[in-house]
Amino acid sequence: MRILITNDDSVNAEQLIPLVRWCQQLGEVTVVVPRFEQSGKSHGIEFHAPFKVEQTQLTSDISAYVVDSTPADCVRFAVLGMEMSFDLVISGINRGFNIGADMLYSGTVSAAREAALLGIPGIAFSTSPENYGEATVHLSMVWEYMQVHKLWNIHTLYNVNIPPSPKGIRITRQGGPYFSDSFDDLGDDLYLAHGKCVFASRGDTTLDTETTLSGFISIMPLTVDMTDQDVYTKLTT
């Protein structure tokens, strides 16, 4: 299996090397990651200006391509720029959950979505900041679950959130808002977004928000089709 690893936490992400080591159990690994943190950059790409790509050594036996652009561009460059082929794109492990409506802003999730747009199976991994150092411990459990339940035969794009000491795994759908922002006035016409949790429980364990925050690993199938199929059907029948 040929695996592309990317993230939105940059080449300096603490869990990048552990993720590479885990993925090496599955097959041949290529690492293409942003030079700087790209959290909240969603599915942005750069096509107005050139960007720099350099190869570097993460360890004596692990190299990486470092891209001065977004996670989506890391995937695009690997596939379209370097003309490499992959069987799977793994994005993450993100330091912080990507659940509910927050997924719309996530560079981590968008990299996996870009893979799907290019016809490659993609999966995004995220975890809580307090669990970040132990995130790779639970990857084998997730992978085994996906293999046993043949999830890759059913669909090719998933978003996975891993809480600390998970109680189990659930298949979920998108919940509501998780984080929002207020804006601090710093003076001199400068403003700084200040994140705050706005999660409100709906008591619905089918939602990724409820599942993850109650201690279960959430595996959610995603789509790149932005059509509201119910509305489309109503408008065309």
Q: What domains are there in the chain, each with its CATH number?
A: 2-236 (3.40.1210.10)
pLDDT 10s digits, 149-169:
999 999 999 999 999 999 999
Residue 10 confidence (pLDDT): 96
Contacts of 50 (CB under 8 A, 6+ apart): none
Residue 85 confidence (pLDDT): 97
Return d(Cα 150, Cα 148) in angstroms, integer.
Answer: 5
Return d(Cα 12, Cα 204) in angstroms, integer.
Answer: 37
Identity of residue 201: S
- Residue 135: band (very low, low, confident or very high) from pLDDT cuts 50, 70, 90: confident
Q: Across-strand partners of 28?
A: 2
DSSP states along 133-192: GGGGGGHHHHHHHHHHTTHHHH-SEEEEEE-SS---EEE-B--S--EEEEEEEEETTEEE
Residue 201 confidence (pLDDT): 83
Q: Could you identify the residue written with the tokens 């690492």?
A: 31
The pTM (predicted TM-score) of the whole model is 0.95
Identity of residue 170: R
What is the rounded average pLDDT for all residues in the chain? 95
Which pairs from 196-200 meet CB under 8 Å and 24+ separation? 199/100, 200/176
Inter-residue contact 91 to 71 (CB < 8 Å):
yes
| Neighbour-count burial for 6-36, b at 16+ CB within 10 Å, e otherwise | bbbbbbebebbebbbebbeeeeebbbbbbbe
Return d(Cα 127, Cα 164) in angstroms, integer.
Answer: 8
| Residue 190: HSE in the Cβ half-sphere, 13 Å Cα cutoff | 4
Inter-residue contact 172 to 100 (CB < 8 Å):
no
> What does the DSSP 8-state code read for residue 101?
G
- Residue 207: band (very low, low, confident or very high) from pLDDT cuts 50, 70, 90: very high
Residue 32 confidence (pLDDT): 98
Return d(Cα 117, Cα 223) in angstroms, integer.
Answer: 10
Inter-residue contact 67 to 35 (CB < 8 Å):
yes
